[in-house]
Structures are given as C-alpha cells and as structure tokens.
Structure 1
C-alpha cells in the first residue's frame, strides 16, 4: 500500500523523511463516533512497510461530540519514534505495522496529559 502524494505531508524524523496523511473525510464509522482517528505513515522515498497509527480519540469532524485533538507534526514525529522503538522497520517489506496509541502513550509523548477538545454538536 502506498500513500498518495496528493494530500499527504512530509516530515523528517531523525534525518529520515516520511510521508503521512489523514483522510479528507471520515469513514461512516468514524463520523458516528465508533472509530478512532487513524492515519498511515511510510518512508518518503522508495517502497517500505506502512505504519498504521490508531489514536485514542475521535476525528474533529465526527458528527457526534466526542473528545478530539489536533494532529500536529510534533505528535506524528513522536508516534514515528515510538513505532521504531516497538519494532517497526520502515524498510522491511511486508504487511502494515499497526500501532495503537494509548492515553498513557500520549501522556508520555506530550510530556503531560493530552488536552482534548469537545466539538459542539452539528445539527
């Protein structure tokens, strides 16, 4: 699986370039609050193993007022470093490497408890 260049962003972590992307629109499950925010990461150059990240909060554009937070490049870089520590080899061919980030992981990455936002209901 390759991430489309259109709509994706580049990030450099420890001297290595990666490409990451958040879907433009939520899936139906994500929109009704059943799914969490997910995004893929892969090496920017050449084929490699995709990292599938699942965060413990909803998308900001979910239809129901679930807690959410912005996904910023600093969070993506921290997630990439965590995945590398947990065994993700971006240059190894094979199935995608799944990483479920927990509340405790977020607290460790951000240096304190995450600050969530609760969006207003959109009727």
Structure 2
C-alpha cells in the first residue's frame, strides 16, 4: 500500500529519492506508551514494498506526557541504509519490510 503524499517528506539516500511519513496522531498503544513510534518509508517514483521503521522512542503525542524524541531525517536515512543492507528492495512489490530499532524502549506499565 502506497503512502499518501499529504504529510510525507522527501529524503535522498544514495542518490535515490524516498518519501517518509509519521502518523500525526498516535495509535492507542502509542498513546499509552505501550508501543514505540513508527514511521513508514517508500521509494518516491516507483513505490513497492513499504519500509516500516519501529523506533525506540515514544510517540510525541502520547497521553502520558512522556517526552518523545523527534524522528529526524538523519535517523530515517540511517534506517533506510540499514534496511537496504538487510535486503529491503523498495521497488519490488510485496509485504512491508519491518525494521525493528526499538531496543531500549521501555513501555509504560
């Protein structure tokens, strides 16, 4: 499934243009700090398999007031490079490729 253009940002990694996006509002689990913030990435010109990056930070819009670190373009670029090394092919259609970078996330109990 392709990302919506509205709210997505462009990023260039290795000469290739990608689009990435965060959810504006947290999911219920993210709002309660049970699960970390995620972002989605796809190839800008030939969308195929979406990259889903699971960060180690709570969503900035969580309901508990836990400080959430912003997801920076440099973090997204690092995630794209890591996913490409692990076998993500952004122009091939298929299931989303999940990249779990949540080591260090501690959910609220």
TM-score by length of 1: 0.79
The count of corresponding residues between Structure 1 and Structure 2 is: 104
**1:27 equivalent in alignment to 2:27:** yes
What displacement does 1:35 show? Answer: 1.4
CA separation in 2, counterparts of 1:67 and 1:47? 33
User: For residues 65 and 28 of structure 1, what CA distance do their matches in structure 2 show?
Assistant: 14
Q: Which has the higher contact order (CA 8 A, sep 6+)?
A: 2
The 3-state SS of whatever aligns with 2:82 is helix
Note the alpha carbon deviations across 1:10-64, whole angstroms, 9 max, x for none.
Answer: 1000100000000111111111111110011000012311001101120111111
Task: Find the counterpart in structure 2 of residue 100 from structure 1.
Answer: 100
Compute the displacement of 1:67 (Å): 4.8
What are the ranges of 5 or more consecutive residues in structure 1 without an aligned counterpart?
105-123
Q: Partners in 1 of 2:78 and 2:47 — Cα distance?
A: 22
Higher helix share: 1
Relative to total residues, which structure has the larger strand share, 1 or 2? 2
Structure with higher Rg: it is 1
For residues 1-123 of structure 1, what are the structure 2 equivalents within 5 Å? 1-103=1-103
Q: Distance in 2 between matches of 1:53 and 1:103?
A: 12
User: How far, CA to CA, are the matches of 2:56 and 2:13 in structure 1?
Assistant: 22
Q: Indicate if the aligned counterparts of 2:36 and 2:59 stay in contact, CA closer than 8 A.
A: yes
Deviation at 1:68, TM superposition (A): 2.6
The alignment's C-alpha RMSD in Å is 1.4
